[in-house]
Amino acid sequence: MATVVFTVQSGKNPKQVSSPVTATARDFSSVGMSVVTPKISPDGIHVMYDTLMTTRNRVDATIFPEGGEPIRVSGTVVWFRTAESPEGSYIFGMKFDEPSGDLQEWLFLE
């Protein structure tokens, strides 16, 4: 688990970006991660789709591993649901566009 700060970028209007949300990332792999968040639609921009559910939105995130350097990742959300805890939170699964060398090194995948 690690702290993550993410923003959501509209797939329809890329200039529209949400304010940053601080969350908890977990279940890391070379292709993605899951994120427990207090907000699923920061500033009205849903993490997965636009309001008509026709265009995928993008997520840009910075992972803050304990004792390590921040790692930047970006991609799309492939699933989401209400989280069991903390109450009122959500969880989503994010697929990375391309895992960075820093992420692979952190995951010991090199």
Domain harbouring 46, CATH code: 2.40.10
81 pLDDT higher than 90: yes
pTM: 0.88
| 74 in any annotated domain | yes
109 pLDDT higher than 60: no
| 27 in any annotated domain | yes
Q: What span, in angstroms and rounded, lies between the C-alpha atoms of 79 and 33?
A: 11
| 109 in any annotated domain | no
Q: What span, in angstroms and rounded, lies between the C-alpha atoms of 89 and 43?
A: 16
| 81 in any annotated domain | yes
Rounded mean pLDDT of the chain? Answer: 89
Mean pLDDT along residues 60-77: 91
CB 44 within 8 A of CB 22: no
| 56 in any annotated domain | yes
What is the residue range of 51's domain? 2-102
| 26 in any annotated domain | yes
| 85 in any annotated domain | yes
Domain count, the chain: 1
CB 76 within 8 A of CB 92: no
pLDDT tens per residue, range 7-44: 999 988 999 999 999 999 988 888 899 999 999 999 99
Confidence of residue 110 (pLDDT cuts 50, 70, 90): very low
